[in-house]
Amino acid sequence: MTNHLNNAIELLQSATQSLTELAAIPVERQPLRETVTNTVEQIHRALAELAAAINPPSLDNIPPELLTKANRLGIPLDDIEVRVAITTHHLSQFVGILNEIEQRFVEIRRVREYFLVRLPDISIEQLGSRLPVYTATDFEWTEPRLSPTELAAIRSKYQIDRLLQQPPRHSTDLFKQIEVADLAWEQAQSDKQSNNLNDTDNLSNLPF
């Protein structure tokens, strides 16, 4: 923590000295834009050092593949502002800014500055699968069990005990029943045809 505080003091002292010297120079010879730009950068770095003094910016929890990608894109991970920015923003924002820089790499002239400015604007997204994760507890039966009285009433209403006492039907018995039914149907058809023939004969013997 002490090192971060000392670094912040040095940066603020340097920024103050630059502005003091700027104020002593005649207006027509003042390097106003350059001095102010450098001073702002020093103040930003000082703020990052103060933030690091409160919460040291460790990148140990960042997936290695993301750090490798950041290095490949030219993002200085040893820079205190960069480290603080990464650790104080959501991981999905870090992923988003890396993808954006990769897509627009040819257009970006100052990767570090682009990273620091754009990172807070990246929207936070859900990481990982968006499908719900189910565990065994999700499939446990949560309805209350029936009481013995309720079970007895159901068994009596639907005569479950009588059904359980009946011998199971074998498939052979079923086929025999189908065969008997077919024979009965054929016999009924044969009897019907015989009756029709008798009726025809009787009609032919009537005098007209």
Lowest mean per-residue pLDDT among 49-53, 80-84, 104-108, 183-187:
183-187
Which residue type is seen at 64? P
List all residues 6 or more positions away from 59 whose beta carbon is below 8 Å from its beta carbon: 67, 77, 83, 86, 87
Query: Percent of the chain, pLDDT > 70?
Result: 74
Extract the tokens encoding 105: 């790499």
Choose the weakest-confidence range: 1-15, 16-30, 35-49, 171-185.
171-185
Residue 203 has pLDDT above 60, yes or no: no
Band the pLDDT of 183: cuts 50, 70, 90: confident
pLDDT of residue 34: 85
CB 111 within 8 A of CB 101: yes
* pLDDT tier at 66, thresholds 50, 70, 90: very high
Inter-residue contact 97 to 122 (CB < 8 Å): yes
Confidence of residue 78 (pLDDT cuts 50, 70, 90): very high
Long-range contact list for 91-95, CB < 8 A, 24+ apart? 91/62, 91/127, 92/122, 92/124, 92/125, 92/126, 92/127, 93/119, 93/120, 93/122, 93/123, 93/124, 94/62, 94/66, 94/119, 95/66, 95/125, 95/127
- Residue ranges of domains in the chain: 1-56, 58-126
pLDDT tens for residues 156-180? 776 777 766 766 655 566 567 667 7
Cα separation, 49 vs 57, in Å, equals: 10
Q: Are 74 and 111 in contact (CB under 8 A)?
A: yes
pLDDT at 91: 94
CA-CA distance, 50 to 69, in Å (whole number)? 27
- 146 by Cβ neighbours in 10 Å (0-12 / 13-18 / 19+) ranks as exposed
The residue assigned the tokens 């029709």 is: 196
Q: What is the model's pTM?
A: 0.54
Q: How confident is the model at residue 33 (pLDDT cuts 50, 70, 90)?
A: confident
Question: Mean of the per-residue pLDDT values for the chain?
Answer: 80
Residue identified by tokens 């959501």 is 90
Q: Is residue 31 predicted with pLDDT exceeding 90?
A: no
Contact 114, 75 (CB under 8 A): no
Phi-psi region of 63 (alpha: psi -120 to 50; beta: other; left: phi over 0): beta
